[in-house]
Amino acid sequence: MLSALIDKGLVKLGNFTAAEDKRRYAYVLTAKGISEKAAITRRFLARKMEEYVALKAEIDALQAEIDDNRVALPKVR
């Protein structure tokens, strides 16, 4: 999967030395990768906002139904 991201130009692979002879790899998003990640994030947030609006409408409808069906109860002393 990582090699596919590198092939698409979304991720750049580099290596660096952390300490004595221990090699580690750094995966850096390219400009194209950052742009793609931002687009994915925008789509995700738009989808979540749509879900929020739908849930809020459902909650409001249920609350209205409860309010309409509420019967005045006598006060208990």
pTM of the complete model beyond 0.85: no
Question: What value does the mean pLDDT take over residues 61-68?
Answer: 87
Q: How far apart are CA 54 and CA 17, in angstroms?
A: 51
Question: What integer pLDDT is reported at residue 15 of this predicted model?
Answer: 64
Q: How far apart are CA 26 and CA 47, in angstroms?
A: 32
Question: What value does the mean pLDDT take over residues 4-18?
Answer: 74
Q: How far apart are CA 77 and CA 1, in angstroms?
A: 70
Question: What value does the mean pLDDT take over residues 2-20?
Answer: 73
30-47 confidence digits (pLDDT tens):
899 899 999 999 999 999
